[in-house]
Amino acid sequence: MDEVEVVVAHNERATLRVGDTFLKVDADQTRIDAEVAAMTAAPIPTPEILWRKPPVLALAALPGSALGTLYEPSPASSAAWAAAGATARMLHEAPLPSRRVTYLDDIASHLDHECRWLVENDVLSSDVVRRNRRIAEAALRPLTPAFIHGDLQITHVFVDGDEVTGVIDWSEAGQGDPMFDIATLTLGHEDHLDDVIAGYGTDVDIAVIRAWWSLRSLRAIRWLVGHGFDPAPEIAVLRSQV
């Protein structure tokens, strides 16, 4: 009999694995609606939707394994990382979905709030926060939106050898900054940025990618702490940026 594996769980949603089936439980049905719509529209491999009975979405497991684990050395080849870059490019060139996920004014306001919290609670020195806040400015710019995944971390990209077999977890997908996807994919794996760019092709702004590394990490730490996760990797990214 298959065991129930808790893949991730917090007070917003949880993902369980039973054999070759993933069960996503989410109290926010609009998020599940967005995920289903994005997987249906995406021109890249996604998990097969087995059934849906709110608040549960059942998905088939993808072949292969994740590109790696966040902030740990990736076992995947350079060619696999390049294939991930090419997959991102294919998604970014697809017709835009209706949902928007990048609201720059909201991001800037939230960023300022989080920076104050980090300093007031002695999580990081004011110098590290200030310098990363300055780096993050490059991401807050006018842009031409693309169809983005919105959470393209390496645990969500599955490969078999040098080929991408699929991308999971589409709840944050919509119109947004394509450089955000590339930054998320390479966060904590800056040594593979050149591989990803080789697969992605042109129109990569490294300054904006670095900006998203800072911006994402600055905004994530309090949420991670509040949901029982260790923010040490994000803290390490912020310190490495300066």
CATH number of the domain to which 93 belongs = 3.90.1200.10
Secondary structure tally for the chain: helices H, strands E: 8, 10
CB 200 within 8 A of CB 85: yes
In a domain, 141, yes or no: yes
In a domain, 129, yes or no: yes
In a domain, 42, yes or no: no
In a domain, 88, yes or no: yes
Question: 164 has which bridge partners?
Answer: 159
In a domain, 86, yes or no: yes
What's the pLDDT tens digit per position in 97-144? 988 876 666 788 889 999 999 999 999 999 999 999 999 999 999 989
Residue 112, domain extent: 64-241
In a domain, 91, yes or no: yes
CB 89 within 8 A of CB 199: yes
d(CA 235, CA 224): 11
Q: Is the pLDDT of residue 5 over 80?
A: yes
Cβ atoms within 10 Å, residue 34 = 21
Give the model's confidence band at 27: pLDDT under 50 very low, under 70 low, under 90 confident, else very high.
confident
d(CA 79, CA 196): 9
Q: Report phi then psi at 74, rounded to 5.
A: -85, 135
In a domain, 30, yes or no: no
In a domain, 23, yes or no: no
Q: How many domains are contained in the chain?
A: 1
Q: Taking phi first (over 0 means left), then psi (-120 to 50 degrees means alpha), and beta for anything else, what does residue 87 get?
A: alpha
